[in-house]
Copies of this chain bind each other. A is one copy, B any other.
Amino acid sequence: MAVYTDVPDDALNAFVGAYDIGGVLACKGIAEGIENSNYLLQTERGTFILTLYERRVAPEDLPFFLGLMEHLAGRGIACPTPVPGRDGEALRELCGRPAAIVTFLNGMCVRRAGAEHCAALGRATAEMHRAGEDFPPGRENALGLPGWRPLFATCRDSADGIAPGVRREIDEELDFLDAHWPGDAAAGVIHADLFPDNVFFLGDRLSGIIDFYFACNDLYAYELAICLNAWCFEADLSFNVTKARRLIAGYRSVRALEDREIAALPVLARGAALRFFLTRLHDALFPPEGVLVGRKDPLEYLHKLRFHQRVTDPGAYGLET
Contacts and interface: CB of A to CB of B under 8 A. Distances in A.
A24 B292 contact: no
B26 A108 contact: yes
A30 B30 contact: yes
Interface in A98-151: 104-112
Interface residues of A, number: 32
A1 interface: yes
A187 interface: no
A111 B9 contact: yes
B10 A29 contact: no
Contacts of A111: 8-10
Contacts of A8: 111-112
Contacts of A108: 9, 12, 24, 26-27
A162 interface: no
A42 B42 CA distance: 12
Contact of A40 (B28, B109, B202): B28
Interface in A275-315: 292
Contacts of A1: 1, 3, 29, 31, 292
A30 B29 contact: yes
A177 to B, nearest CB: 34
A208 to B, nearest CB: 9
A25 interface: yes
Contacts of A9: 108-111, 201
Contact of A42 (B10, B29, B106, B201): B106
Interface of A: 1, 3, 8-10, 12, 23-32, 40, 42, 47, 104-112, 200-202, 292
Given A25-B107, A40-B40, 12 more contacts: A1-B1, A1-B3, A1-B29, A9-B108, A9-B111, A10-B112, A26-B107, A28-B28, A29-B30, A29-B31, A29-B32, A42-B47
10 contacts: A1-B292, A9-B111, A25-B106, A25-B202, A26-B104, A26-B106, A28-B28, A28-B30, A29-B32, A30-B30
